[in-house]
């Protein structure tokens, strides 16, 4: 694994010193991408604080859609294992869930009956799947386009509460039947992802689950995006009290989903240096303005313009052991390296950069 | 490094000491006076009060549920006034960093997070690892886990149950065992909305009582110093004093710790059918064997958020949420709920709760058996501790608060008639000596030679809240970490855990169980010692026999 300054290969130490110069000469640096394990996220947040900078994640638009509904309305939720073992009635919402989580059917043992339930069979419905998706897992399909989903969900809520449905025709009939089945469930779960449904639909899903709990038990399973996205949010949560899009301009954390959007900060000339972190895949930044960039990325990454300093890093759980959020268990686990190498970890490089900073307080 | 704390009033009830004298520290330990040696540092603490570092036994500070509350309630952070400090992230709202700093500023040097289901142990340890300065530990929550309930259903032996508990503790690296409305999470998944001590868990045919008895015995059999830490059924419900009395009556001579008893001290008197039965409950505690201990879970009037694995109770509280949002989590091994709440002094029910907590503190006679908690953040955030100390120390202070409360609420309690005022020595017993004993931490809670040099020095300020809010000096392991109420620097403490012995065949059985039921390796749920490499050291707390 290698490090480069202005395209020329140098030692890690030289690159770290150069990166430190770029970051501390900036008026307002921003850490972006942030696709890394929890140790990497922790190091990045500490570095952002020391630089009085901000940090954001490449998947913020999706994960904040989810979090915004959470902090607006709250949530009912459970884990994949709980759905696997106890849910006798599943309702999937919106398209692409099998693309978002290819191993879904296996992990939830959809073909089997729930082991820890008195219900002997599992009923599976899919409202608004993509073409052919429902058949793939043997779910009963109720067609709805993504745009029509909030209305269909509203209709379903009305049917669950035995109120009049403001929808006509075959869909109304199907929703009424579905409502009856959901109400008869022993312990049901609604599966959804912020990647494929919008804010309004997420709110409707939560409202539906709440309504169903008046008579029976229902919960929801938000499908995790993988690649430690949730782990970064969790780490940010305990370190600062906030999710990503948090800044330290005043020396303490402030969270603002608009102000600390990294791409916006860079395009609007607010941020004058960027630290891009992408250890899981080959994602490159989306911004157009050629702000000086430090990159911690996989070797194969293709950048829209040349980073001032570039470090090749290992992949968490592949090149090195990593604590990350595992969607199979909906919490953290230690993932042992599947193909150990001496490729550096994001946390180690960030520590090296921090050691090369000359201003800011002494880290204790 | 030899340090002399000269001329302070040393309040060290473990040694029967309350008088002016010196404390000597060498390295990380308290030592006998090193007469004839010149100390490297002398602190003149004349006129100050010197105690061992305080120990927190029950505060929700490091878990997935706590983090959910942080993400649910970004507005709560604004209540924290930013105070620039020269340590990383020290001004980060109610973050882990703030937790370590604020507790240290009050003279606390050891903290216990009490509610971690075994599948979420690593998350808790990741948060504990980011709490600076203090030592820390967590308790593992059992009682809604299929494996245990299946053992009970099959009539497994006490040894088999102890082996299972031992194996789960070893994998989770916890200090002890907690159980929360045992069986309640599974009952709730089966659409049960209230769950009593003698109710049967659907599908398993065992009662909550049976789960408690089994875990209580397993903790004894494994020699775990900390007794079973129990959150009983019917929390917060009018008339629930009957549940608490029933549990106390059946605890026998085996050690048992009842968490946040204030939330179970309610009668049904008065025209609202809600009264304090704390006096009756205190009487029962006084009469019970000394192996029964309790903590209070005091309510203080302010905005907070309730965080609990008692999902039945939390679901019932959803309509009372303020602000109106909440999180209800089911989960495969224990549910939980996060419900924000505003305790108001002009609210009848909240006023009764506040008074009932103080009645427990003041009417339970032995400060070795009643523990200082607000069940942070359920009754109030831990940052209200200084005000609570002041209330225990002064009847006048209580009278001033009482004057502001609804009269009809005050009439439903005995608080105005209670004259007792805690002495500083009793405060030190309750917050130092007793917790060290309860958790099995032999070298803490006192200032004898050989003890860990965790020391808090307070100004003898007549404003006792101010005194306890900002310690004059705090030493952790002999290292000065707080001066004049400000954290001077970070250091990272140890994580305390028990390592009980159990039949190794249990791990093989559990591996097979996880493969079969979850289709996953049990290893995914373990906390490997090397998972958090930096600054994170486990220290074993010895189990007895
Ligand atoms: Zn608690």
Shared-domain flag, residues A184 and A123? yes
| Binary contact (B490, A42; C-beta < 8 A) | no
Q: How confident is the model at residue B80 (pLDDT cuts 50, 70, 90)?
A: very low
Shared-domain flag, residues A201 and A90? yes
Closest approach of B469 to chain A, Cα-based (Å)? 22
Identify whether A112 is part of a domain.
yes
Residue-level pLDDT at B545: 61
CA distance A173 to A152: 12
A75 in contact with B, Cβ within 8 Å: yes
Shared-domain flag, residues A29 and A99? no
pLDDT over 70 (residue B92): no
Q: What CATH number is given to the structural domain containing A268?
A: 3.40.50.740
Partners of residue A114 in chain B, C-beta under 8 Å? none
Pairing between β-strand B303-308 and β-strand B292-295 as defined by DSSP bridges = unpaired
Residue-level pLDDT at B77: 65
The alpha carbon of B86 and the centre of ligand 1 are apart by a number of angstroms equal to 32
Residues with CB under 5 A from ligand 1 (ion): B 375
pLDDT over 50 (residue B117): yes
pLDDT digits (tens, 9 = 90+) for B21-46: 999 999 999 999 998 999 999 999 99
Report domain extents, chain B: 51-487
User: What averages of pLDDT result for each successive group of 10 residues across chain A (364 residues)?
Assistant: 94 98 96 98 97 97 94 96 98 97 96 93 97 97 94 96 87 95 98 96 97 97 96 97 94 92 98 98 96 97 97 98 97 98 97 89 43
Range of the domain at A144: 65-222
Partners of residue B62 in chain A, C-beta under 8 Å? 238
Identify whether A107 is part of a domain.
yes
Question: Chain A, 132-191: which have a CB under 8 Å from a chain B CB?
Answer: 186-187
| Binary contact (B330, A79; C-beta < 8 A) | yes
Shared-domain flag, residues A103 and A199? yes
pLDDT over 80 (residue B76): no
Closest approach of B307 to chain A, Cα-based (Å)? 14
- Name the residue among B260, B261, B248 with its Cα closest to residue B291: B248
CB B290 within 8 A of CB B362: no
CA distance A236 to B522: 27
Identify whether A25 is part of a domain.
yes
CA distance B501 to A210: 45
If 0-12 CB within 10 Å is exposed, 13-18 middle and 19+ buried, where does residue B178 land? buried
Closest CB to B95 among A107, A219, A241: A241
Residue-level pLDDT at B536: 80
Residue-level pLDDT at B93: 65
Closest approach of A100 to chain B, Cα-based (Å)? 20
Q: What CATH number is given to the structural domain containing A129?
A: 3.40.228.10
Identify whether A360 is part of a domain.
no
| Binary contact (B122, A323; C-beta < 8 A) | yes
The alpha carbon of B535 and the centre of ligand 1 are apart by a number of angstroms equal to 27
Identify whether A363 is part of a domain.
no
Residue of A nearest to B324 (CA): A73
Interface test with B, best of A42, A46, A74, A89 (most B CBs within 10 A): A74
pLDDT digits (tens, 9 = 90+) for B352-376: 999 999 999 999 999 999 999 999 9
Closest approach of A212 to chain B, Cα-based (Å)? 11
Mean pLDDT of chain B: 95
Shared-domain flag, residues A78 and A20? no
- As for how many domains chain A has, the answer is 2
Partners of residue A49 in chain B, C-beta under 8 Å? 88-89
Domain B51-487, classified CATH 3.20.20.140, yes or no: yes
| Binary contact (A234, B489; C-beta < 8 A) | no
B341's CB contacts (< 8 A; 6+ apart) are B303, B304, B305, B306, B317, B320, B321, B322
Say whether B339 sits in a helix, a strand or coil.
strand
Residue of A nearest to B328 (CA): A76
Closest approach of B93 to chain A, Cα-based (Å)? 6
Shared-domain flag, residues A85 and A188? yes
- Name the residue among A105, A100, A98 with its Cα closest to residue A84: A105
Shared-domain flag, residues A216 and A97? yes
Residues linked to residue B483 through DSSP beta bridges, in sequence order? B473, B486
Boundary residue ending a domain (A187, A222, A257): A222
Mean pLDDT (whole number) for B470-482: 98
| Binary contact (B519, A109; C-beta < 8 A) | yes
Residue-level pLDDT at B89: 56
Cis omega (within 30 of 0) on the bond before B323? yes
In this prediction, does ipTM exceed 0.95? yes
Shared-domain flag, residues A145 and A128? yes
pLDDT over 80 (residue B83): no
Beta strand ranges found along chain A (DSSP E): 3-5, 8-10, 29-35, 54-55, 74-77, 89-93, 123-127, 140-142, 187-192, 217-222, 246-247, 254-255, 273-278, 293-297, 309-312, 322-326, 331-335
Question: Chain A, 187-246: which have a CB under 8 Å from a chain B CB?
Answer: 187, 213, 216-217, 219, 233-235, 237-243
Shared-domain flag, residues A206 and A73? yes
CA distance A114 to A82: 9
Residue-level pLDDT at B87: 54
| Binary contact (A329, B87; C-beta < 8 A) | no
| Binary contact (B89, A240; C-beta < 8 A) | yes
Partners of residue A74 in chain B, C-beta under 8 Å? 72, 321, 325-328
Boundary residue ending a domain (A174, A189, A222): A222
Identify whether A154 is part of a domain.
yes
A111 in contact with B, Cβ within 8 Å: no
Shared-domain flag, residues A190 and A100? yes
Partners of residue B87 in chain A, C-beta under 8 Å? 364
0.90 cut: is pTM over it? yes
Residue of B nearest to A117 (CA): B203
Closest approach of A169 to chain B, Cα-based (Å)? 34
Identify whether A362 is part of a domain.
no
Boundary residue ending a domain (A191, A222, A253): A222
Question: Chain A, 250-289: which have a CB under 8 Å from a chain B CB?
Answer: 250-253, 255
Beta strand ranges found along B83-218 (DSSP E): 108-116, 135-141, 176-180
CA distance B186 to B208: 11
In the β-sheet with B303-308, what is the strand arrangement from edge to edge?
Answer: A74-77, B326-329, B336-342, B303-308
pLDDT over 80 (residue B533): no
Chain A to chain B Cβ contacts (< 8 Å): 172
Partners of residue A323 in chain B, C-beta under 8 Å? 122, 126, 531-532
Identify whether A364 is part of a domain.
no
Interface test with B, best of A235, A238, A321, A347 (most B CBs within 10 A): A238
């Amino acid at each position: 694994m290698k490090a480069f300054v202005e395209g020329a290969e140098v030692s890690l130490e030289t690159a770290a010193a150069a990166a430190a110069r770029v970051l501390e000469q900036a008026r307002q640096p921003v850490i972006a991408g942030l696709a890394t394990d929890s140790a990497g996220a922790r190091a990045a947040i500490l570095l952002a604080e020391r630089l009085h900078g901000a940090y954001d994640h490449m998947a913020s638009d999706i994960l904040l859609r989810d979090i915004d509904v959470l902090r607006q309305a709250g949530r009912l939720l459970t884990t994949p294992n709980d759905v696997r073992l106890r849910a006798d009635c599943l309702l999937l919402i919106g398209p692409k869930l099998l693309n978002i989580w290819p191993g879904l059917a296996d992990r939830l043992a959809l073909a089997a009956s729930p082991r820890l339930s008195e219900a002997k069979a599992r009923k599976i419905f899919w409202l608004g799947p993509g073409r052919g998706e429902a058949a793939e897992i043997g779910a009963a399909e109720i067609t709805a386009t993504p745009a029509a989903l909030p209305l269909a969900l509203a209709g379903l809520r009305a049917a669950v509460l035995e109120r009049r449905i403001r929808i006509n025709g075959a869909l109304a009939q199907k929703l009424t039947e579905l409502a009856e089945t959901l109400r008869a469930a022993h312990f049901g779960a609604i599966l959804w992802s912020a990647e494929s449904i919008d804010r309004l639909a997420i709110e409707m899903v939560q409202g539906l689950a709440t309504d169903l709990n008046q008579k029976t038990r229902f919960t929801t399973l938000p499908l995790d995006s993988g690649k430690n996205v949730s782990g970064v949010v969790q780490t940010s949560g305990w370190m600062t009290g906030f999710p990503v899009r948090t800044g330290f301009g005043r020396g303490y954390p402030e969270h603002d989903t608009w102000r600390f959007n990294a791409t916006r900060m860079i395009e609007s000339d607010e941020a004058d240096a960027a630290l891009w972190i992408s250890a899981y895949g080959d994602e490159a930044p989306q911004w157009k303005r050629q702000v000086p960039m430090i990159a911690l990325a996989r070797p194969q990454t293709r950048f829209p313009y040349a980073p001032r300093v570039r470090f090749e890093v290992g992949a968490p759980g592949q090149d090195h052991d990593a604590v990350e959020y595992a969607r199979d268990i909906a919490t953290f686990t230690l993932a042992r390296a599947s193909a150990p190498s001496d490729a550096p970890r994001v946390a180690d490089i960030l520590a090296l950069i921090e050691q090369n900073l000359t201003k800011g307080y002494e880290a204790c | 490094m030899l340090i002399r704390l000269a001329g302070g009033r040393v309040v060290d009830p473990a040694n029967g000491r309350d008088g002016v004298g010196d404390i000597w520290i060498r390295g990380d330990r308290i030592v006998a006076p090193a007469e004839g040696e010149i100390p490297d540092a002398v602190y003149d603490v004349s006129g100050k009060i010197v105690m061992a570092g305080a120990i927190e036994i029950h505060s929700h500070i490091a878990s997935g549920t706590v983090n959910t509350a942080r993400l649910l309630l970004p507005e709560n952070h604004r209540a924290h006034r930013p105070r620039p400090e020269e340590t990383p992230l020290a001004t980060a709202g109610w973050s882990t960093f703030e937790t370590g700093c604020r507790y240290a500023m009050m003279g606390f040097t050891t903290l216990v997070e009490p509610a971690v289901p075994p599948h979420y142990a690593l998350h808790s340890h990741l948060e504990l690892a980011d709490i600076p300065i203090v030592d820390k530990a967590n308790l593992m929550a059992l009682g809604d886990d299929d494996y245990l309930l299946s053992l009970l259903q099959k009539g497994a032996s006490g040894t088999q149950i102890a082996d299972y508990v031992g194996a789960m503790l070893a994998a989770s690296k916890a200090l002890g065992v907690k159980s929360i409305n045992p069986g309640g999470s599974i009952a709730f998944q089966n659409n049960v909305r209230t769950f009593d001590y003698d109710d049967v868990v659907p599908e398993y045919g065992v009662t909550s009582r049976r789960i408690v008895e089994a875990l209580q015995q397993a903790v004894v059999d494994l020699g775990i110093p900390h007794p079973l830490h129990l959150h009983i059924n019917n929390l917060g419900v009018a008339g629930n004093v009957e549940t608490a009395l029933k549990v106390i009556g059946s605890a026998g001579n085996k050690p048992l710790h009842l968490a946040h008893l204030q939330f179970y001290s309610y009668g049904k008197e008065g025209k609202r059918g809600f009264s304090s039965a704390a006096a009756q409950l205190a009487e029962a505690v006084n009469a019970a064997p000394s192996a029964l201990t309790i903590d209070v879970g005091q309510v203080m009037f302010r905005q907070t958020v309730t965080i609990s694995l008692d999902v039945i109770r939390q679901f019932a509280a959803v309509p009372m949420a303020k602000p109106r949002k909440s999180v209800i989590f089911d989960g495969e091994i224990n549910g939980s709920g996060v419900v924000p709440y505003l305790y108001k002094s002009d609210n009848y029910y909240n006023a009764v709760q506040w008074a009932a907590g103080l009645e427990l503190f003041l009417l339970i006679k032995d400060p070795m058996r009643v523990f200082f908690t607000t069940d942070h953040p359920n009754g109030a955030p831990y940052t209200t501790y200084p005000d609570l100390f002041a209330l225990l120390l002064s009847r006048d202070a209580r009278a001033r608060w009482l004057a502001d409360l609804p009269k009809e609420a005050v009439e439903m309690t005995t608080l105005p008639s209670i004259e007792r005022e805690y002495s500083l020595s009793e405060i030190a017993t309750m917050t130092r000596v007793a917790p060290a004993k309860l958790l099995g931490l032999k070298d803490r809670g006192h200032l004898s030679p050989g003890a860990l040099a965790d020391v808090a020095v307070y100004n003898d300020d007549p404003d006792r809240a101010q005194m306890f809010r900002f310690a004059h000096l705090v030493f952790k392991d002999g290292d000065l970490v707080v001066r004049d109420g400000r954290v001077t620097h970070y250091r990272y403490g140890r994580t305390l855990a028990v390592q009980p012995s159990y039949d190794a065949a249990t791990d093989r059985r559990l591996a097979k169980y996880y493969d079969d039921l979850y289709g996953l390796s049990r290893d995914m749920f373990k906390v490997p010692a090397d998972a958090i490499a930096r600054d994170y050291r486990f220290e074993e707390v010895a189990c007895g026999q």
